Amino acid sequence: MQTVGGPVVSERTFVMLKPSAVERGLMGEIISRFERKGLKVVAMKLIRMRREDAERLYAVHRGKHFYEQLVSTIAGRRVVVMVLEGRSAISVVRKMLGATDPVNAEPGTIRGDFGLDITDNLVHASDSAESYEYEHRIFFSESDLVA
């Protein structure tokens, strides 16, 4: 990709629609927001989250008081895991999500518009290139990613 003024940096990010997004029928709304922003879905699947995978996904929080609640909130339940690609995808997605606690999320953000709970706050997304590299590999092989 190239624009007037220099190259556009395209990157990928891992996103998981948590059980509340799936159970409340918000998958299409949330995914369409990402697509309307110009992000492309390069991998996506609906899965029942295995406890082992939930523990791996949230390993960075192991030992914190909220770790078990994070894991148990998604373990054994349906989630959508996906990889999105686009210009500054990591920061764009994080901004679109809003604050972690939906009470503090601005209107117009996904959590601000639809979020009800701080733990099952609709969507998990990578917060850095390093977390993307770790997180997406839990659920996808490189051959799953469609350029």
CA distance 87 to 147: 14
List pLDDT tens digits, range 33-59: 999 999 999 999 999 999 999 999 999
Q: Confirm if 96 and 109 have CB atoms less than 8 A apart.
A: yes
| More confident of the two residues 40 and 147 | 40
Q: What is the band of 119 on the pLDDT scale with cuts at 50, 70, 90?
A: confident
List pLDDT tens digits, range 58-95: 999 999 999 999 999 999 999 999 999 999 999 999 99
Active site positions, annotated: 124
Q: What is the pTM of this model?
A: 0.92
Mean pLDDT score of the chain, rounded to an integer? 94
All structural domains of the chain: 8-141 (3.30.70.141)
Neighbours of 82 (CB within 10 A): 23
Q: Confirm if 71 and 8 have CB atoms less than 8 A apart.
A: no
